[in-house]
Structure 1
Amino acid sequence: MPKKEDILNRKDSTITFPGSFWDKNITMPFSNVIFHFSTGGENAIGAYMLQIVRPTNHTFRIYSHGDDCYESISLIVWYMDKNRPLPPGTAFDPYRDADFERRKAEGFPPPLYPSQVPTPEATKEQQKERDKYWRDLDYITNIKY
């Protein structure tokens, strides 16, 4: 039986999740992954859990990173969008400065995936720098984002 792994690869924009039973793990571009939520049983137990549709046989993989599907997908999209700052949490703290400098060098590109979740920088100083960049760009190019 292959080792079952869940990997969110922000750098390469891929996601790896287990295949069914003894099938190999599935790795695919994040933009091609189909997510949906469970409806639960007759009593709604297990409802609103995030699931991934496996492309091999259209079975489902429960993919939980929060209390419900909305919290899970918000965290996953936030993390996988390498044009956004890293999500909050101590696990990402050692990487925040390098990630900010990388995005700054790239000119703070717009988000890859649409989201209504605000994604501020880790510090107020970084947020001011990002906001200043976008204000200056709007002024120079007269483009609204």
Structure 2
Amino acid sequence: MKEAASIEQIELLLRDYHWMKKEVDRLENILYGRSSPMRSWGVAQYGIEAAMPKGSSGKSQAELMNMDIREERLYKRLEKLKERVYAIEYAAELLGNERDRVIYDCIIDGMSFREISYHIGISRNQVKKAKETILNQLSQKSQFVHLLNLEKSA
């Protein structure tokens, strides 16, 4: 029963990926005045950029204490959504074969079964079966479930 609930939660998260990604950008613009692209996390820098001191992209402890109630609420929502968006994007790495990764990427891009089947050249029923397989694989991967903190909310 718990497995079925987590599959439903994962499916809901995949469906909600687009608005969560947009909300992360919006909240970063409100709180920091800009959004930081997730693809640049952990990217090495060269030349003068590597030598220059870097500020933290997060809020300092003093800034966190001086936030008003709304900013604090927005900051907490931003951190939660960033974790979920990262987990959803990371999940493709946990899938076994390349075709499943392509189907997964198409699903989080919001493509319909018909569009995916046309794109890959398989039937809609095969796409539905592949989606079920993907959801089962992800629900079995403890790394992914842990990243989403689904144990706490289940």
- TM-score by structure 2 length? 0.27
| More RCO (CA 8 Å, sep 6+) | 2
Which protein has the bigger helix share? 2
- TM-score by structure 1 length? 0.28
Which protein has the bigger strand share? 1
